Structure 1
Amino acid sequence: MTSWDPPVAPAVTVIRVSPSTGRVSGPPGALAAWLRELPDEALVWLFRLRPDLATPPPPDFDILAARLEIRGSVSRALERMDTFTLEVVEALTVLPSPVSFRALTEFCGGLDLRETIDSLRERAVVWGPDEAIRLVGVAVDLLGGRPLGLGHPARRCLAAYRLPQLARLAGAVGLPEAVSAGANGRNLGQSVEQSRRDALIEMISAVLADPARVSALLDQCSPRARHVAERLAGGPALGATNDAERLLDVGAARTPVEELLARGLIVGVEPGTVELPREVGLLLRGDRPAGELHPAPPEVGGRAVSADSVDPSAALAADALVRAVTTLLTAWGSTPVTPLRSGGLSVRDLRNSARLMDLPESHAAVVIETAAAAGLVDATPGTDVQFVPTNTYDRWCTEPVAMRWAILADGWLRSPSASWLVGGRDDRGRQYAAMSFDTRRPGVAELRAEVLRAVLAAPDGIAPTPEAVRARLGWHSPRRTGALFDGVVDGTLVEAELFGFTGRGAPSTLGRLVATRDAIQDDLSHLLADAMAPLLPEPVEELLIQADLTAVAPGPLVPRVAAELARMADIESAGAATVYRFTESSLRRALDAGSSAEDLHFLLGQLARGGVPQTLTYLIDDTARRHGRLRSGPAASYLRCDDTALLTEVVASRHTQALAMRRVAPTIVISALPVAELLDGLRAAGFAPVAEGPDGRIVLPRPEIHRTPARIRVATAGPTGNRVNQLRDVVRLVRRGDESARAAQAARELAGEELASVRSAPLILVTLQGAVRDGRRVLLGYVDQQGTPSDRIVRPSSLDGGWLTAWDERSAAPRRFALHRITRVADLDGSFEGPPRPPAPETGDWVVPPVADADADDDEPA
């Protein structure tokens, strides 16, 4: 046989839902024209939803349309879509493009798609009116492989079969005998054999696209075989079997898999794997071609708690958080902490801070990171870096408890810190440290907000389980996975309880307020403070002082009273009512700070409800009487006292022998130690000395308070009013640039330019992507390594890693072209008339021609 004409495919009835061929792009420039007709506010909203489109501002609508076809941009947009929205997008990859809203609704089982389609239009993932909805082409590459559990189209499934296998299958599906007989020839050239394969694949695919003929083939199968096909139709369409490579005659088939394979109802695509072609799956699904969809998220379940106890528990947690931050930063203000050389807090300092706040180390890390995120603590500038409170902390301390908590909560919601990593180790075995850059993760604030919304979706009085939260998140963000996403769930559950967004694990009023906000706003702290204030008891200015030298604050104290009381008493227990204890050392601390006994009596007399017990009055007077009786000054240091008996006791005490004191007069003792060390030694021995200056006056040391300037906090979530104004400016720039570009294009057309070419990098990339999907010929302007320009007519086959692989018409061979050397691309009308397209690598036993680099071509440039 010297020549062979491919047989004509028999007429078939087209199925109502035809599988996608990948040709989803509209007419050239149609997407840009659609964008051009959008109102300015719609474009601003598009840029808010997809900020990468506006960075940098696109010069015109053609470039903006090109960016909408960029794989990375579309992938980021799809990551923020829920399961149902993605299912609708997958349905659009199955349906022919364009499709009407009515047809799409019927395909999806009559579900309400209005809100979903509007959301996709707002993100420009779909475009066009309801009568002709189109999907951006690159979405087909991202989601169109096996959408909705369906398999690939029959044309792609059959690409793995050899010519004899296709001939046998052609006879099984009822194609003319001349087809199968003509396909069994041997010693055919590669070009002719490939043409016969393509023709057989097209004809068998046409048969499988005919519902009547597929139904007839299914009727020939046994009930068990039909049951296997129906299971694969429900999804996924892949099945594992050892018979995948067997293709018997219909009469020789014995097992259900062999029956389906023999009739082409399933296709062996890989060793051990069979696939149900999309056409067969759509038929078996009947009146529900989209399969089972998930229009609503799963309910969040968990254990039941008393709803009345949730808000009080949340308020108690909020108050404890404020108290912990105050305790920590007061200590760091007096004794700054030195960070590690690599940055962050050392393990010892973290452990000491946790002990100071009486919290587990993991919770202490959250508190420290939150204080830093709120701008209350930072590293000092310069070389001798230390962690100290900022000057913002002093203002924060004067605010009511509700506002102090709100500032912390606002900082936590915006923070990019993954606090739950502290204490763990990275891939290189290094431990994560609190307040280090290693714990910063981009996108953590957004992920935290998603987890928080999932937690707060639980009904009142239900504390959701981590599994229920993950199931909810799996519906909202099915394309988001990874270790960070897994860790943020457990971390947010713990942190939400610490901040009072949940109480006893159940959503609180504060949490539901955050869940209802579309974005973190600049005034969120005021909103949170207003919501927290009714949950907290009113600040009080009175104490219940008891004879055992304890005082009970029946509620939160006003900041001024709390600061005064902290100087003269120690907190013994904290909670809804705080218990303070007066001791000799605490009273001496107040006296050292400059207060006199009269000041203490007056203040306590104002605060004490029911009066001051006599025991406390005696303790204050006794401590004040002994305070300052011993005075020290530089000699290197000296100690003098009018009470010679007391001075004798000091010198003779075994606890003061290390101070190297020597008596030089009945009322004076000197020491070689500095004054500060002498005073510390005497106080440790149980005495109460004070320092005096050269003029004999008492010198009361003030504790040194360290501060560093607060940095300007940059909002990490939520567009502000300024951002919206900036996006409006971007829209104006796009419109002005588009008008200029269209005017220039009109001028070129008047000048008689014959072939419309695209020359900008985004448009070149989008045009090549469309040519790969549609199999179109294009004219390629290319500059080789020597700088020689040439024009080549090619048919692109793949685009990956900065290289275009295409069949070069001039050299009749596949070649690779570096994308950065392509200067222009122009679409060519008409079908490809050169040699047949070589088979893809996955097509089995055929030898794929080697792909040469275009720079290695020795031919003369076109």
Structure 2
Amino acid sequence: MNSTKALATWLTRRTPEQLTVLLEERGLPHGRSDAADPLRLAELLLTAPSVRLALTGLDRARLQVLAAVAVLAERRYGPVADAAGPALTGFAGRRPGGWAGADGLEPSERAVERADLAAALGPLGARALTLLDDLAARALLLPPHGSSLVLPAVLYRPSGGLLGYGRPAEVLYSDAYLAAQVRLVEDSLGLGPARSREEAQRGVVALLRDPATVREVVAGAPEAVVRLLGSLAAPGLGSPRLSSGYFRSEDTGPFAKYRFPPDGSGDPTVAWAAARGLLAPAGPGVVELPYEVGLALRDPSWPLPFEPDPPTAVAERDGDTGGDASTGHALAEAQAAATASASRVEVLLRAVAARPLTLRKAGGIAVRDTARLAKEIGAGEAQTRLWLDLAANAGLLAPHREPSPAPARGRRPAPAPAAQLLPTARYDTWLAASPAARLLPLVAAWAVTPEVFTREHGGPEVALTTPQDRTAVPLRRSLLAALASRAGDAGAGSAEGGHPGGAGNCAKGNATTRVPGTDTHVQVDPRTRQTDPLLPQRAVPRAPGVTTTLAAPPEEPLPPGEPPP
């Protein structure tokens, strides 16, 4: 019996209450005709969009268990071919798309034993086994639910988001490069010269598909390059991407093409790897490790991450002994910080209104303009970038471009003027509200967008080109729910100070391991990895004629006094 039929049989044994919970998790109406047909319902539950929606409801530990099963299956049966990896969305500005399908892959043929999972996760393996029943109830582990563990087919593929692979090199090169860039990579690898761009690209891809050759190239790389590639090749949730402003582009649209800097400027580590095809552009300010490179560099003995306990927040102050005095002190500090934040954003918006910020062709705000604005408002550059991003996502700032003057008869049209960032009509209403009401749309924007606004990556930090993290929205919503559940006036929102907001970054523990084909041991820091958001994405609204990388604001403006959704 194949996995679809096995799942259909399992569905017939579920109680009405259990089926209702499953349908709600997958966003399926209870009364639709598909729900009455077990086989059709099983087919729906195994589709990539349905599986993707189910993953959004999982915590880190359950996602890591699924990822461990997928990695163990890959180690035992080998990698699964994938025609195309996950399409970039949001800040990266690539064309929309979904995950690759799972046609022709029978999940039961890639089963992993429970004992192997427990052994692979070491001392924490027993705790991982306690999560399997819940994953089975969500139809993310498929029947027969015995000693073998079977995932939906899409999760075995590189595009499933659990294995930590990038897209195939052929897809990345075709999307990002013109012929000149492909030939530069070809020349750096000692190939060619080929007669055409297609022949040159086939030669480069064929070389990268040979793991031994990739390891040989990496073995001759500078130590910083080996560390970077090793960290990106480590198993992890999402795709191996890195923020980098190395590549240049004259466009930010979905079909933008990228070129190497003509003077060789930029990050030398990324430059060395990109010149040899080991990294490729994946959008404005983003590079990606191709699938073939990750496959060649991944060590089969790489430790599988599993952190069953959520991170704990511990606050310590000199003289704090707990109790009402400590709580009152913390509340007073929170209220003061909230009021100060609202005031800082007001000063920032007034400064932008007086002197609009110009949007770069590559997306975002120029670093020098951000530094100038930070000096004007008396804040740090990181804080200024945070408030710019939040204000843009909250609909308080938006791009605007003046229309080009009509050309005189017989003359070419003048180039379109640069787009500028200006306060929106909502700004006037926001300005008249109390500090608490002013913070509400900013906190709401922070809570529903997957951008990690304060993440630093070592290169130029550009406002409005922030990386995304799949875990950001669930974590922020959980944080707000926890704050809202506190009794009495423990939250700062009850006072004039409003709700303090912030942006955090979930960092997984580091691991040290050897990069295959080299004698180098690297510390794997998953914070260097940019993950694909598994959450459904919205289209980014833009002003007429303006192309930028602003993230989507909430669908409806939040009037003063309305709580976040």
TM over 0.5: no
Shorter chain as normaliser: what TM range?
Answer: 0.3 to 0.5
The one of the two structures with greater contact order (alpha-carbon pairs below 8 A, sep at least 6) is 2
Q: TM-score, normalised by structure 2?
A: 0.41
Structure (1 or 2) with the larger CA radius of gyration: 1
Q: TM-score, normalised by structure 1?
A: 0.28
